[in-house]
Structure 1
């Protein structure tokens, strides 16, 4: 029986500078320490089906002598049972890669990528929809195993609950995640690309609207008679005068308002637009002329 030849002290002392050339120090049973300018590498020579091959066992000192010998023993056991250790290593790596590329793992990477590009509120909605509707059915599956029919079945369950718009939104997000994965080399195709037109159309929902002067007059009178908090009353009165988005009105700051000139300048960073465009200053400030009635309310 062959005996081990190297000691921990010898392995530690072995350097390229010491030998002044690439050196291979044998440890027996095909294993050796390959000393190179870039470091020290454990290798193992073996024959499989008549061919000589080399197996990488690790890099010293991350892989010490004892662990390298353990890996050599495992490789020799594989060879004895007709398994090529290099092929077994490739299959293990492929399996680990598949596990790392589950839909949920890639979706979480996509969410991190979009942070700072999309508004936090938009990202939060996207995450909750994925957690509620996509992860339970698709989260644990490798991207390569998710077929168009797999996605469609998940979307049909959402439709069956009457949530047609949600189904369309989820299909859109899944498509974005897959396109990200394709660009990263983690998927081959986007399975949602052939699902367009297969989901039910979102039912048109007509919302009640004031269409006559008399109805508008009644609404304005009701707002004027409202006896709630002063801030709420002011917001209700300003809304029909200024036609702003609720968030723009709700987050108003006094420094934006000039009562003397009758103007309100809303910074571009508070206007609708992507976070990326806002940071780049690509969303212009919005100038709102203040009618005299609005000035009275503000005062």
Structure 2
């Protein structure tokens, strides 16, 4: 007779375990301690197989019958149900350790050596804010292109088009890492190329050449911290990126050789960069030394000598000077490029000094080996030009454009 829930509930423990048959090789085992569990007993390749299907009442009578039916189907297909259960258990354990978030953090840790600390933090912050809430808990193999698209479209919908594009790239890199570590076979992010609206390139506002005399007048008259004024002047003279200036360390400078060598890990393009120092730049470096004190940085934070000046300091200073929305510290690079090109300097030399990426590897190697003396002359010309601008009379009643 098939079992009933009443029969199962009324089954009492004995001194030894015993079985109650439900039919079709399904049994209920009752232990001396009163426990009750479901067993499916069959033969596979001539050997007895005993498959545990769970404990009663957590696994009900009807659920046990369904599991027994599935085991019989596996036998019909030539599959050992006991072995299949072990494989499924292992797969489930692997899924738990191969979630998108776990793999993303693993990828992030692996890539840390290639990134600056600030860049690494921004990448992880974007994943934690926009990706992990949706995709983080999911096994990497269950993530589909529509899931990824939904995730990045939410970012795009709030107007952060460029961020959405970057997040999509980062998701793709995590999926690529999963493939390389044999935990996935397909990168669904690669199916989404062109799915997002292209972000409009917005160049940072740059100071017009004719505005330089007025700029220097305002810089001198504005009540700014001495270190901020020196940083602003050195930024214009060297036209490096503001982040490269803020992180400048004393060990990078050789004043006898008139050189500032920025290591690869601090450069956007991950390639070391040489900045020939003009006489005026050297004077500024010497002037900041007493203000830097024992800090390893030329321009340290006001609250911690081991941390660089805030990334907002120079921008706020330009805002106070009246250039809010019309010019930025990063824009000095565009200004230098415009003036130097107008004055007839070799574009290759200008581009090399701007540390722009050279896509042609042979040409890039040549650039690293050449142009140093030409760049020294160009940087000194630029410093002398700025000196002349700072001593000119500013344009009267000129409105900053």
Q: CA deviation at 1:167?
A: 0.5
Confirm or deny that 1:152 pairs with 2:143: no
List gaps (5 residues or longer) in structure 1: 4-45, 56-71, 278-282
Tell me, yes or no, if the aligned pair for 1:265 and 1:287 is still in contact at 8 Å: yes
List gaps (5 residues or longer) in structure 2: 1-15, 17-39, 56-63, 72-80, 288-401
Count of aligned positions: 231
Structure with the greater relative contact order (CA < 8 A, sep ≥ 6): 1 or 2? 2
Confirm or deny that 1:290 pairs with 2:278: yes
Q: CA deviation at 1:203?
A: 2.5
Q: CA deviation at 1:47?
A: 7.8
Tell me, yes or no, if the aligned pair for 1:158 and 1:164 is still in contact at 8 Å: yes
Give the distance between the partners of 2:107 and 2:251, measured in 1 at CA: 37
- The counterpart of 2:183, out of the listed 186, 192, 195, is 186
Confirm or deny that 1:250 pairs with 2:246: yes
After TM superposition, the score normalised by the length of structure 2 is 0.51
Give the distance between the partners of 1:155 and 1:141, measured in 2 at CA: 16
Higher mean alpha-carbon deviation, 190-199 vs 119-128, is at 119-128
Query: Which residue number in structure 2 is paired with residue 228 of structure 1?
Result: 224
Query: Which residue number in structure 2 is paired with residue 163 of structure 1?
Result: 160
Give the distance between the partners of 1:104 and 1:53, measured in 2 at CA: 43
Distance 1:53 1:96, change over 3 A: farther
Which structure shows the higher strand fraction? 1
Distance 1:76 1:52, change over 3 A: farther
Q: Residue 89 of structure 2: SS of its match in structure 1?
A: helix
Tell me, yes or no, if the aligned pair for 1:262 and 1:290 is still in contact at 8 Å: no
Query: Which residue number in structure 1 is paired with residue 330 of structure 2?
Result: none
Higher mean alpha-carbon deviation, 176-185 vs 222-231, is at 222-231
Give the distance between the partners of 1:186 and 1:118, measured in 2 at CA: 25
Distance 1:296 1:226, change over 3 A: farther
Q: CA deviation at 1:97?
A: 1.4
Tell me, yes or no, if the aligned pair for 1:226 and 1:233 is still in contact at 8 Å: no
- The counterpart of 2:112, out of the listed 99, 110, 115, is 115
Query: Which residue number in structure 2 is paired with residue 125 of structure 1?
Result: 122
Query: Which residue number in structure 1 is paired with residue 235 of structure 2?
Result: 239
Q: Residue 114 of structure 2: SS of its match in structure 1?
A: coil
Q: CA deviation at 1:262?
A: 6.8
Higher mean alpha-carbon deviation, 263-272 vs 150-159, is at 263-272
Q: CA RMSD in A?
A: 3.3
Query: What's the CA shift string for 1:79-122, capped at 9, x where partnerless?
Result: x9574322211111112212222111211211121122322222
Tell me, yes or no, if the aligned pair for 2:116 and 2:265 is still in contact at 8 Å: no
Query: What's the CA shift string for 1:143-165, capped at 9, x where partnerless?
Result: 22211111111111111100101
Confirm or deny that 1:264 pairs with 2:264: no
After TM superposition, the score normalised by the length of structure 1 is 0.66
- The counterpart of 2:100, out of the listed 88, 100, 103, is 103
Distance 1:210 1:198, change over 3 A: same
